[in-house]
Amino acid sequence: MLELLAIAREDGWAFVKKDEQLILIKPPYRDSNLVRVSEDIIEKAVSQHGFEWVQESYAGWGPLVDFLRTELSKVRQCELGMLDDAELKFELLRDAPREILEDYLRRTESELIPGGEWNAALDVLTLLMRIDIVRHDANLYAHAIALLQRCNSGLAENGRTRAELTAEGVVRLFPGVTRKYPVASVMEYMRNVAERHQVMPLGAA
């Protein structure tokens, strides 16, 4: 039995308890992306890193991963009411008046970015950058570029803070190793192992 304790819906990371062990799991949900962490890490994740408490039980990894993927898909759907298919979105907005495009930029800036919805914001901005009115209007174009830069910075910062969670888990679980080697070196080694070896998806037979 697996117990889902906390989740960051915007990027699919989650804390799961299995056999009294606390595990941090993240996409693409393979064995190489499982990290055992200590109990105090989850408190920090919720208070500082955008995780939220949940309490759900699952019979195995398959149903749990299905749930995480569904939640991630919901978040990554365009928050501004557009269809999922990128080409359909483009067709709908290609001939939209300037004020509509301005509204998408405004709502991206005021709703998606402050909420940390980086992927949804990038989807919207990438679409807008394809539209002639935006590309040929200096003000709209500059606004879109500035928002893209903010998204990239936010994603980079989010990656760093989440990496810190994983690193802290390594430090607490393997104090002897991390006294001898820098945490960054241990993390790099773990990444290299994951990349060199083909692993089966979670729950695969």
pLDDT at residue 146 above 70?
yes
The confidence score (pLDDT) of residue 155 equals 78
The chain-wide mean pLDDT, for the chain, equals: 76
The verdict on residue 174 lying in a domain is: no
Contact 124, 104 (CB under 8 A): yes
The confidence score (pLDDT) of residue 4 equals 94
Going 18 to 51 to 173 to 202, the CA torsion angle's sign is positive
Of 113, 110, 100, 99, residue with least CA distance to 149: 113
The verdict on residue 175 lying in a domain is: no
Residue with tokens 């991963």: 65
Assigned token pair, 198: 């083909």
Residue 113 lies in domain: 86-155
Last residue of a domain, one of 18, 47, 76: 76
CA 186 to chain centre: 23
Do 27 and 90 sit in the same domain of this protein? Answer: no
Residue with tokens 């749990």: 64
Number of domains comprising the chain: 2
95: β partners: none
Residue 142 sits at φ, ψ, to 5 deg, of: -65, -40
More confident residue, 15 or 33: 15
Measured CA to CA, the distance from residue 190 to residue 163 in angstroms comes to 12
The confidence score (pLDDT) of residue 79 equals 47
The verdict on residue 103 lying in a domain is: yes
Contact 76, 119 (CB under 8 A): yes
The confidence score (pLDDT) of residue 139 equals 92
The confidence score (pLDDT) of residue 50 equals 80
The verdict on residue 27 lying in a domain is: yes
Task: Give the model's confidence band at 131: pLDDT under 50 very low, under 70 low, under 90 confident, else very high.
Answer: confident
The confidence score (pLDDT) of residue 178 equals 52
Do 16 and 71 sit in the same domain of this protein? Answer: yes
The verdict on residue 43 lying in a domain is: yes
More confident residue, 11 or 111: 111
Measured CA to CA, the distance from residue 97 to residue 99 in angstroms comes to 6
The verdict on residue 185 lying in a domain is: no
